Amino acid sequence: MDGTKGASVDDARNTTGARPSSHARRQFLRTGAGLAGAAAAGAVLGRSGPAAAVEADPANLPPNVPWWSKYLGDGVEAAPYGLPSEYESHVVRRNVRWLTATTESSVNFTPIQDLHGFVTPNGLCFERHHAGVAEVNPVDFRLMINGLVDTPMVFSMEDILRFPAVSRFHFLECAANSGMEWRGAQLNGVQYTHGMIHCVQYTGVPLRVILDQVGVKPNGTWLMAEGGDASGMNRSIPLEKALDDAILAYAMNGEMLRPANGYPLRLVLPGWEGNMWVKWIRRIEVGDQPWFAREETSKYTDLLANGKARYFTWEMDAKSVITGPCPEKPVLHKGINQIKGLAWSGRGTVKEVHVSTDGGRNWMQARLPDPVLPKCLTCFNAEFEWTGDEVLLQSRVVDDTGYVQPTMNALQQVRGVNSIYHNNAIQTWLVNKTGEVENVRLG
Amino acid sequence: MDGTKGASVDDARNTTGARPSSHARRQFLRTGAGLAGAAAAGAVLGRSGPAAAVEADPANLPPNVPWWSKYLGDGVEAAPYGLPSEYESHVVRRNVRWLTATTESSVNFTPIQDLHGFVTPNGLCFERHHAGVAEVNPVDFRLMINGLVDTPMVFSMEDILRFPAVSRFHFLECAANSGMEWRGAQLNGVQYTHGMIHCVQYTGVPLRVILDQVGVKPNGTWLMAEGGDASGMNRSIPLEKALDDAILAYAMNGEMLRPANGYPLRLVLPGWEGNMWVKWIRRIEVGDQPWFAREETSKYTDLLANGKARYFTWEMDAKSVITGPCPEKPVLHKGINQIKGLAWSGRGTVKEVHVSTDGGRNWMQARLPDPVLPKCLTCFNAEFEWTGDEVLLQSRVVDDTGYVQPTMNALQQVRGVNSIYHNNAIQTWLVNKTGEVENVRLG
C-alpha cells in the first residue's frame, strides 16, 4: 500500500541545498559530541492546561549552546529556489500501486496529515493524470476557442497574461476522493482516504472575459473544454458556470502552475469536481448541448441501485475530515489533546464544524480560525481529553446553504453501493487503548 | 549586479523530475521535427479590447497536434515533491554580491516581477541572515521562556504543536527594502528595489497563549526574543504587541517552515519590520525595559539630519510598487496594457491604490481583486494605453487609517538622507519610446 519514493526528494535536496562539505561536517556533529546531552522528545511533565510543557529543569534542557548556534550556516547563494528541511523528507505525495494499471493514468495523494493551515504547498498538491504529465513549452502553447462564437480566436500565453487578473483561494477535490471507502476498503491513513484534495491561490483571467472577446452566439449554452495531454481529456460545462466564477488560471500560490497541475494554463471551476478542471487546456468549443464525453458517461457518474446513473453531479457536497489524530498521527499523551482538521463545501462557505468523541452521539462546536473563504478549505480545531479509553472521533460540517454532512448509511440509502465517486460521508477514527488510530465504519 | 546561481535549480529539477530517458526523448522532439511548424510568440494582430489576440488564421496556429499531445508524460511516481517547470528556471531569488562582505550575512530578493496573486511560494521567499541558515533538528529544538514570569518553562516542538493553531496571511518586509534607493542607487529591477518582501500563510500558536502558560509578572512589560543561529540575533518587543497578534509560527503555506525562514519555529509580528521576526527562536526573556540590542541601536534606526536617531520604528508604513511594467518587464505592445502591482500596510488594511501614467499629476483608481486582508500583500491592477511616447508610471496606496504613501521628497524633508531603512516612498518607472522601463527619481 505504501508507494512512496522518498529517495529522489532527498537527492534533489542534496543537489540544491547544503554544500557537501558543510553537510558532512553537520552529520559529524549530529552523531558526535554535539548532541550528547540532548533530551529525547516526548518527556512531557507536570502543569495542566491546553497543552503541557517541560518546566525549566536543567536536566531536561538540550546542551546550553546547541551545535547549530556554533557555526555559520549556508549563505544566500546556496538555494536560488529553496526546498524543505531534510527533516521533513517524509512529507511527500504517495500513491497506491495496485489502484491502476500504470502510474501515467493514476493518482497520488496529498499528505494532509502533515500540513497546517489551508494552503497546500505546490510541491505536495495531489496529481491525477489520464496520460501522464504533458510538458508544454509556453512559447508554443495556444488556446483555441471555436464553435458557436462570433469570432473564433486563438490565444497565446502572452495574450492571456495581458488581461486583468483575479486571485482566489479554492479547493480542488477529485470526485473519487474517499471513493475506496465506499465499499469498505478502509485504508489506514487519511492521506489515502482524503488526500485527493488540495487548496491554493489561483491567479488567472475570468473565463467570462475571454468568452466576451470571442462573443458567444445566442444559441451557445454549453462549452467543451479539452486538454492538451495525450488523452485529450474533455468535459462538458454549462455556460452558466463559465460566466459565473470559472477562471483560466496560469499561476498557483504566486508562481506559474506546476507541470503536473496543467502548466501553463488550466481551467478552474470553483467548488466543482476536479476532473472538470481541464489541465494543459488547448481548446474550448461552444455548442448547444453537452458532448457526453467518456469522462462524464462511463466515468464520474454514480450507478444507483435501480440501474440508473446519476450524472452531471458537478458540485462537491460539503465534507470534513479530522487530520490529527488520524491513523498516521496517533494520540501520544493522556490529558488534553488537539483535534485538527479540514472542512469544505462546493456549494459555498463553511458555516460550522462539529466534532464528536463518542461516534456521533454528542457533538461540540469546533473553532474555525479566520479567514474562512468560499469554496476554499477551512481549518477547524477543538480540544478533547484522552483518559486511555477507546474514543470514536468524527467531524461534521454545515455549510452556509444549511447542508449537513451525512453519515455513510444515510448516503448509501440514497445512492446504493455501486459508485466510487462523490463520497462525502462522515469519517470515523477509532482511538484504541494504546493511542493508535484506526479507520472504522460506524454507520 | 546579477548574482543569480540558476544552475543548481536545474540540477535539482533533473534529479527529482523527468526520468533521463524521457527527458532525452523530449529534448530531441523540441529541437527536431516536433516544433518545426510552431508559430513564434508575440505576433499579436487585430481586434481591439482590453487585450488583443490572434484570430483563428491557420498560418498563426501551432502544428494541429502539438508534440506534447502525442506521448505519455511522467506518471504520479515521478516527483514525490514537485518542482516548477523547467521553462520557469529564471524565476529565482537573486542577490547582489557587492552589498555585504559575505553571503552568510547578506540578503537575496524575491522575484516579484514574475509572481502572481499575493502568496509567495516558499522556495522564492527572500532571505536575510546574520550568520547563515541555522539547520536545526526539530527533535533537539527547545524554546525557553524565562525572566519576569511565574514559571520559567522550556517547550519542545511536540509541546508547541499541541496548542490550538491559527493560520494567517501576512507580509514580511525587511526594514531595508528599497533602502538602496534612498540615496539614489537606482537599481534597475523591481526584484532589487522592492524584493525584500514576501507573503505566506503562517500557522502557529498565538504568543499570548504561550505567555499565559508561563504567567508574565505584573512588572513584565518587554520581551527579548533571541534566535538560535550563530549570531544569536535578538530584539526587544513590547508586551503589548506580543499579546495582540504575535504568532510563534512553525508552518508557511501549509508545510513546515523552510530552514532559511526559521525552521522549526520563528516569531511572526504582523505588520512590523522583518528583522524582529526572530528565526530559529530559542529563548524569550521577559523584562521591564528594552534591551537596546545591536540590531535596534547601531542597526535598524534612522539617523536624522540633526544627528539624532529614530529608533523602535517597528510598524512598516504603507507602500506600493508596480511589478509590471517594470525594468524586467518592458512594454511590448502599443495600445491597451495592464499595470499590475502589490500594495501593503503594517498599520492595517489597504483601502485604495491609485496609479498615474504622468508622474503623479493625474491619478486613477486601480482594481483590488479580493480577498483584501489586513497586514497582507494586496494585488492591484489597471489598464493604460501606450502610444509609443514616454510614460512615467507610479502607484500610491492609501490604508484604512487614512495614511497616504508619500513621495521621496516629502519623506526626505522629514528624515533627511542618512538612513537606508524604512523607505516607503512612491516609486517611478519611466517607460521610454522603445518600451523599455527605467528606474528614475522624480520627486
| A387-419 per-position pLDDT tens digit | 999 999 999 999 999 999 999 999 999 999 998
The pLDDT, as a whole number, for residue A31 is: 36
Return d(Cα B386, Cα B24) in angstroms, integer. Answer: 43
Give how far A183 is from chain B: nearest CA, Å.
25
Contacting residues of B for A42, CB less than 8 Å apart: 156, 158
The model's confidence at residue A68, banded by pLDDT at 50, 70 and 90, is confident
Spatial contact of B390 and B144, defined as CB atoms under 8 Å apart: no
Q: Greater confidence, B251 or A54?
A: B251
Contacting residues of B for A137, CB less than 8 Å apart: 30, 35, 87
Q: ipTM score of the complex?
A: 0.88
The pLDDT, as a whole number, for residue B66 is: 74
- Mean residue pLDDT of chain A comes to 87
How do the pLDDT tens digits run along chain B, 443 residues long? 333 332 232 333 333 333 333 443 343 333 332 222 223 222 222 333 444 454 555 455 555 567 788 889 999 999 999 999 999 999 999 998 888 889 999 999 999 999 999 999 999 999 999 999 999 999 999 999 999 999 999 999 999 999 999 999 999 999 999 998 987 777 889 999 999 999 999 999 999 999 999 999 999 999 999 999 999 999 999 999 999 999 999 999 999 999 999 999 999 999 999 999 999 999 999 999 999 999 999 999 999 999 999 999 999 999 999 999 999 999 999 999 999 999 999 999 999 999 999 999 999 999 999 999 999 999 999 999 999 999 999 999 999 999 999 999 999 999 999 988 999 999 999 999 999 999 999 88
> Which of A79, A200, A251 is the closest to B260 by Cβ?
A79
> Which of A77, A146, A282 is the closest to B56 by Cβ?
A146
> Which of A26, A138, A230 is the closest to B69 by Cβ?
A230
Strand segments, DSSP code E, in B148-257 are 153-155, 166-173, 197-206, 222-227, 234-238, 247-252, 255-256
Size of interface A-B (CB pairs under 8 A): 490
Answer whether A159 sits within 8 Å of B53, measured CB to CB. yes
Q: Say how far residue A379 (Cα) sits from the centre of its chain.
A: 13
Answer whether B213 sits within 8 Å of A47, measured CB to CB. yes
The pLDDT, as a whole number, for residue B39 is: 30
Q: Say which residue the cell 452521539 belongs to.
A: A361
Answer whether A123 sits within 8 Å of B81, measured CB to CB. yes
Mean predicted confidence (pLDDT) in A65-72: 81
For A76, name the nearest residue in chain B, comparing CA atoms only: B103
Return d(Cα A68, Cα A25) in angstroms, integer. Answer: 11
What Å distances lie between residue B86 and A393, B10, B93, CA to CA?
Answer: 44, 7, 16
Return d(Cα A361, Cα B344) in angstroms, integer. Answer: 47
Structural domains in chain B?
104-310 (3.90.420.10), 319-440 (2.60.40.650)
Contacting residues of B for A157, CB less than 8 Å apart: 41
For B46, name the nearest residue in chain A, comparing CA atoms only: A153
Return d(Cα A265, Cα A145) in angstroms, integer. Answer: 14
Count of Cβ atoms closer than 10 Å to residue B433 Cβ:
9
Buried-state track A314-351, b at ≥16 Cβ within 10 A, e below 16: bbbbbbbbbbbbbbbbebeeeebbbbbbbbbbbbebbb
Answer whether A124 sits within 8 Å of B68, measured CB to CB. no
Q: Greater confidence, A64 or B403?
A: B403
Contacting residues of A for B162, CB less than 8 Å apart: 50-52, 333, 336-338
Contacting residues of A for B280, CB less than 8 Å apart: 68
**Residues paired with residue A184 on neighbouring β-strands, in sequence order:** none
> Which of B8, B62, B152 is the closest to A56 by Cβ?
B152
Query: For residue range A126-177, what is the model confidence (pLDDT) as tens digits?
Result: 999 999 999 999 999 999 999 999 999 999 999 999 999 999 999 999 999 9
3-state secondary structure A68-96: HHCCCCECCCCCCCCCCCHHHCCCCCEEC
Give how far B255 is from chain A: nearest CA, Å.
5
Spatial contact of B208 and B385, defined as CB atoms under 8 Å apart: no
> Which of A50, A123, A251 is the closest to B164 by Cβ?
A50
Q: Which amino acid is at A377?
A: L
Contacting residues of A for B147, CB less than 8 Å apart: none
Answer whether A79 sits within 8 Å of B333, measured CB to CB. no
Answer whether B118 sits within 8 Å of A167, measured CB to CB. yes
The model's confidence at residue A66, banded by pLDDT at 50, 70 and 90, is confident
Spatial contact of B88 and A258, defined as CB atoms under 8 Å apart: no
Q: Greater confidence, A49 or A317?
A: A317
The pLDDT, as a whole number, for residue B36 is: 28
Answer whether A253 sits within 8 Å of B9, measured CB to CB. no
Q: What angle do CA B22, B25, B28 make, to 5 degrees?
A: 150
What Å distances lie between residue B60 and B34, B189, B250, B288, CA to CA?
Answer: 16, 33, 50, 72
Return d(Cα B17, Cα B79) in angstroms, integer. Answer: 6
Give how far A416 is from chain B: nearest CA, Å.
31
Answer whether B259 sits within 8 Å of A85, measured CB to CB. yes
DSSP secondary structure letter of residue B195: -
Give how far A242 is from chain B: nearest CA, Å.
19
**Residues paired with residue B256 on neighbouring β-strands, in sequence order:** B251
Residue A240 has pLDDT above 90, yes or no: yes
Report phi then psi at A120, rounded to 5. Answer: -95, 130
Answer whether A256 sits within 8 Å of B370, measured CB to CB. no
DSSP secondary structure letter of residue B245: T
Q: Say which residue the cell 475571454 belongs to.
A: A210
Spatial contact of A205 and A134, defined as CB atoms under 8 Å apart: no
Give how far A98 is from chain B: nearest CA, Å.
13
Report phi then psi at A388, rounded to 5. Answer: 105, -5
For B89, name the nearest residue in chain A, comparing CA atoms only: A81
